[in-house]
Structure 1
Amino acid sequence: MKEIEIKSILQVYDSFDELPADVQKLMEQSMMVRDRAYAPYSEFLVGAALLLENGEVVLGNNQENACYPSGLCAERTAIYYAGANFPDISITTMALTAKSLKHKLITPTPPCGACRQAIAEYEVKQNLPITIYFMGETGKVVRSSSLSNILPLVFDNSYL
């Protein structure tokens, strides 16, 4: 038997104000759309703003359903919109923010497993990494230069 070590490299900004100006603008858009999420069951609001290589910004938020869990997360809402409307345009950057209506969320909140898999699919499809910034309502912001940092050993089409 042999052990292997898998490392993830993430950058952590102490606050929103430390982000580059263009990322602040993208994160502000994710905050705006987050606050319009439809989450009456979980009371957990998530917003996603995707910057495409052509400069277009695509927004998405979580949409819940009484037939839980048939709703959709913010990340996949935005990614699938981008895929449907801009199929040949790469996603360069994602800004994600989460907010709980039950308590103040200051912990950077990464995408769930299903969303990580969807992001991985688009990184493989476009053959380019997607830079991901994620945060809670306030506080620190985490930057990952690729989905592979938060989902090592990704399952992709090479296994099929």
Structure 2
Amino acid sequence: MKKTQLITTVLEYNSIEELDSVNQELINKAKEATQSSYSPYSNFSVGAAVLLENGEIIQGSNQENSAYPSGLCAERVAMFYANSKYPNVPVKSIAIACYNNGQFLERPIPPCGSCRQVLLETEERYHTPIQVFLYGQKQIFEIENIKQLLPLYFEKNMLDE
């Protein structure tokens, strides 16, 4: 038997002002995107903003549907739109924010497993790490790449084995 330890490194900030202006703008765009959420069932509005290598920022928000699981998370809405509008432009980073009960959450929320897999596929597609920013009013997380969020990931070449 061999024991393997998987470690995820997360940088924590107490305030958005600790980040550079590009990442502040990306987080603010994610916060803004929460306002276009369609979440009448959960009342949990999530916004995502994707920064592309060409400088474009693409926003997305969660879109629910009464016929579960027909809705889609903010992260996938933003990523799929970015990949369809700019199919040859790598993604540099993504920011995620959540608005609930009239305010942004104090602590960051991470992407769900399905979103992590989609984000990883995009990272693999462009052979470029995607930096992740998770926003909370009292805490902001920065993660260096998607593989940090999904260390035992499923990838395309496994289909050939």
Superposition TM-score tier, normalisation by shorter sequence: over 0.9
Provide the secondary structure at the position in 2 that maps to 1:54.
Answer: coil
Deviation at 1:7, TM superposition (A): 0.6
Partner of 1:141: 140
Partner of 1:90: 90
Paired residues of 1:15 and 1:141 also in contact (CA < 8 A): yes
Deviations 1:97-148 (CA, angstroms, capped at 9, x unpaired)? 0122287621111111100000000011000100010123x12000011001
Report the aligned-residue RMSD: 1.3
Judging changes above 3 Å, is the alpha-carbon distance between structure 1 residues 132 and 104 closer, same or farther for their aligned structure 2 residues?
closer
Q: Give 5+ residue unaligned stretches, structure 2.
A: none
Partner of 2:119: 119
Using the alignment, how far apart are the partners of 1:44 and 1:144 within structure 2? 23
Count of paired positions = 159
Paired residues of 1:16 and 1:139 also in contact (CA < 8 A): no
Partner of 1:64: 64
Provide the secondary structure at the position in 2 that maps to 1:42.
Answer: coil
Partner of 2:39: 39
Partner of 1:152: 151
The question of 1:6 aligning with 2:23 is answered: no
Paired residues of 2:97 and 2:104 also in contact (CA < 8 A): no
Provide the secondary structure at the position in 2 that maps to 1:96.
Answer: strand
Provide the secondary structure at the position in 2 that maps to 1:98.
Answer: strand
Deviations 1:44-102 (CA, angstroms, capped at 9, x unpaired)? 01101111001111110000001122100000001100111100000001111012228
The residue identity in structure 2 corresponding to 1:95 is: A
Deviations 1:8-65 (CA, angstroms, capped at 9, x unpaired)? 1110111222121111111111111112211000010110111100111111000000
With 114-123 and 99-108 compared, the bigger mean Cα shift is at 99-108
Using the alignment, how far apart are the partners of 1:57 and 1:105 within structure 2? 23
Paired residues of 1:47 and 1:59 also in contact (CA < 8 A): yes
The residue identity in structure 2 corresponding to 1:159 is: M
Deviation at 1:150, TM superposition (A): 1.0
Q: Give 5+ residue unaligned stretches, structure 1.
A: none
TM-score, length basis structure 1? 0.95
